[in-house]
Amino acid sequence: MKKVFSRPKSLKKASFHYCPGCGHSLIHRLIAEVIDEMNLQERTIGVPPAGCAVLAYNYLDIDMGEAAHGRAAAVATGLKRVLPDRVVFTYQGDGDIAAIGTAETIHAAARGEKFTTIFVNNGVYGMTGGQMAPTTILGQHTTTSPGGRNEKRDGYPIRLSEMVAIAEGSVYIERTAVNSPAHILKTKRAIAKAFQVQLEGRGFSLVEVLSPCPTNWKMSPERSWKWIDEVMTVHFPLGVIKDTTKEKKDDH
Amino acid sequence: MPKVLMRGNHIIGEAAVRAGCRYYFGYPITPQNELAEYMAERLSKTEGGVFIQAESEVAAINMVIGASMAGGRAMTSSSSPGISLKQEGISFLSALELPAVIVNMTRGGPGLGNIAPAQSDYFQATRGGGHGDYRNIVLAPSSGQELANLTFEAFDLADRYRTPVMVLGDGMLGQMMEPVEFQAEVPLKKLPAKDWALTGAKGRPSRFIRSLLLDPVEEEEHNWKLMRKYEKIAKEETRWETFLIEDARMVVVAFGTAARIAKGAIKRVREQGLKVGLIRPISLWPFPFKAIRDIAKRARHFFVFEMNMGQMVEDVKLALEGGGDVYFYGRPGGIIVAPMELSRVITNQYYQKRLL
Amino acid sequence: MPTGYIEIDPELCKDCKLCMSVCPHHLIESSERLNEKGYRPASFIENHLKRDERKCTGCALCAISCPEVAIEVYRA
């Protein structure tokens, strides 16, 4: 018998502090698997967010540098400009990237900064107890949208990946999910492709991952997987949003 | 190297690059735009130079954080309202123990204020400005030559102590043209290695740089560690200059441009026989408390002159701990006091205190 | 006919039940006992069965879906 699945080397043996069924745990593992398979552990630097994943450095066995809430894209810009041959990625939640960090994200993409952003979209502010996020859907209940998000009172959700795709420096943007084994594997392939885009020096890459937050959605993990399919993907369609890798040539 | 005539904002840029700064992130705001423009030009002609006009002052300070984490010598600059925006970043730099140089060419405030020179950011600079218990080294040049020397040194201080250093100038210093002599450019490979930087975990265990310390026991110890560092800096890096102090019966305390004006005023009143001297703090943090206390043993009348509503005067009072008489004269909002005007106020005060 | 086998670390499991929802042969159940965290960990029902008695194919859908990396999969 051959062992065909085990903990990736770049994932420390620590037990996750995340809730049962949380998408972060899955996505951390996928990043570690990609780092292992592409042999990048010694040359990757990650920037964790403010949010549940602030402690990502306790799990990913790579160099990591903390950023203030929303600022990861600016910190990553500084890191990558000093060390252009390393793989730099940010790991951000929906509040981090699409509320307080919108300017930094769009401008990094516009400048074509050659790092990768992994955007974990679970439609709430998890760490702080389930408040409304920029990606909270109309009708979705959160602690700051009582009765459900209402466009007159709370405005509309933001499709950040589509916004970033407009920026010319962005090269590869895909939206995936981690609510089934097939989607999980697709997410892993998207992360690997984004890192490859970076290694080829092509420009800014972003993978948005629809991710469950069972605790703040007040659902079981299984129900939260269904909710992503039935509700979230209607507003945040899965698929490749932008891919200019075949058109653009390297320009170092 | 022969002396060149240069504008203050340009002097800062040239000194920074010679000190090994290769990463500059800034944003336009008057009166320091010439510094950003100089860096854009100079770094584009320097190998490994990176200039980014960021989308905001907030983004710029965070780019400095990233570049510093990677081991580079990085700088940002702005003026008063933009420095307000950077406060979170400065708190983070201090907590993360990252070197960086931040230049503030102070303008009139508060709010949008104006573009005239002022000294109203003293509290912001020396009391931290951002959240949490930390102190930043604050250097206050008062001439073109000092802009060159102190900017050059700021990078060494930042690296040596792993702390942000602020160069606190004002709109006048930035625009003035003065002759200046620069130090020779430091070759990057001569700079001390940074064994803590994030460079990719090659041949070593991975590391992380962070300031989140959820356990209060750890956070307390981190604060004490920073405090011990600040005590060391206070011991080694306090700087000041005195002028005509030996026989002074009244001592003016001023920094930066105000100190230049004060020197002019003091020369005038000396001609009238008034025994007035000056102590000019060059490091605003660490502040020369002891130097002022020592002077107070001989002369108990202090005249604090600032281009603000009274900020450094509090540190002077703290230094004296009641053992002296402090008079404050200040004009906020960008008014530049002429030496003539200041000399009249000093003379008036000298008579009032019956020092003749 | 490929045969498989899985090992679940009960102390890592948080009983999210996602593995159970994806196993094509329903070979995982919550166990009776509590682990140190207070969860009833997932448990492989074919633990004690011999190779030719097992239905597990080692497809690893469970391990792919497990957020806690609590499952290791073997396949012949």
Q: Are strands B23-26 and B74-78 parallel, antiparallel or unpaired?
A: parallel
Query: What pLDDT score was predicted for residue A252?
Result: 46
Nearest CB to B55; choose among A65, A68, A103: A103
B179: β partners: B5
User: Is the minimum CB–CB distance between B38 and chain A shorter than 8 Å?
Assistant: no
pLDDT on residue A250: 54
Helix axes A72-82, A102-111, angle to 10 degrees: 30
C49 touches A at CB < 8 Å:
no
Facing residue for A79 by CB, picked from B70, B88, B202 = B70
Low-confidence ranges of chain B (pLDDT < 50): none
C-alpha to C-alpha distance for B213 and B216, rounded to whole angstroms: 7
Which pLDDT value is given to residue B1? 74
3-state secondary structure (DSSP) of residue B184: coil
Distance of alpha carbon C64 from alpha carbon A6, whole angstroms? 10
Find the mean pLDDT for residues A20-27. 98
pLDDT for the residue B129: 85
Contact B207 A86 (CB under 8 A): no
* Residues in chain A closer than 8 A to C15 (CB atoms): 20
**Hey, are the CB atoms on A78 and B54 less than 8 Å from each other?**
no
For residue A199, the model assigns a pLDDT of: 98
Q: What angle do CA B47, B48, B49 make, to 5 degrees?
A: 90
Please name the member of B62, B68, B202 whose beta carbon is closest to the beta carbon of A67.
B62
Residue pair B206/B136 in contact by the 8 Å Cβ criterion: no
pLDDT of residue B334: 94
Measure the CA–CA gap between B228 and B181, rounded to whole angstroms.
Answer: 36
Q: Pick from C12, C58, C65: which is nearest to A4 by CB?
A: C58
Distance from CA of residue B288 to its chain's centroid? 14
Using a CB-CB cut-off of 8 Å, the residues of chain C touching A7 are: 69, 72
CA neighbours within 13 Å on the CB side: how many for A28? Answer: 32
Q: B346: distance to nearest CA of chain A, Å?
A: 48
Strand ranges in B141-290 using DSSP code E only, listed in sequence order: 164-170, 177-180, 208-209, 240-243, 250-253, 276-281, 283-285
Question: Residue C22 and residue A180: Cβ atoms within 8 Å?
Answer: yes
C39 to chain A, any CB pair closer than 8 A? The answer is yes
CATH number, domain C4-75: 3.30.70.20
Query: CB A6 to CB C67 under 8 A?
Result: no
Q: Say yes or no for a CB contact (<8 Å) between A181 and C22.
A: yes
Confidence of residue A75 (pLDDT cuts 50, 70, 90): very high
Which residues from B are below 8 Å from A73, CB to CB? 59
Whole-number pLDDT of residue A248: 52
Query: Is B106 strand, coil or helix?
Result: strand
Q: Do chains B and C touch (3 or more CB pairs under 8 A)?
A: no
> How far is Cα A58 from Cα C59, in angstroms, rounded to an integer?
30
Torsions phi, psi of A38, nearest 5?
A: -95, 5
pLDDT tens digit string along C19-71? 999 999 999 999 999 999 999 999 999 999 999 999 999 999 999 999 999 99
Contact A160, A226 (CB under 8 A): no
pLDDT tens, position by position, A132-160: 999 999 999 999 999 999 999 999 999 99
CB A106, CB A163: distance < 8 Å? yes
Residue A79 has its nearest CB partner, among B54, B58, B66, at B66
Average pLDDT of A66-73? 97
3-state helix, strand, coil in chain C (%, to 5): 15, 20, 60
Pick among B65, B91, B195 to test the A interface (most A CBs inside 10 A): B65
| CA A126 vs CA A18, B130, B210: distances in Å | 10, 26, 21
* Cβ of residue C69 closer than 8 Å to a chain A Cβ: yes
Bridging pattern class, strands A87-93 and A116-121 = parallel
**pTM across the whole model:** 0.94
For residue A171, is pLDDT > 60?
A: yes
Residues A196 and A241: beta-carbon distance below 8 Å: no
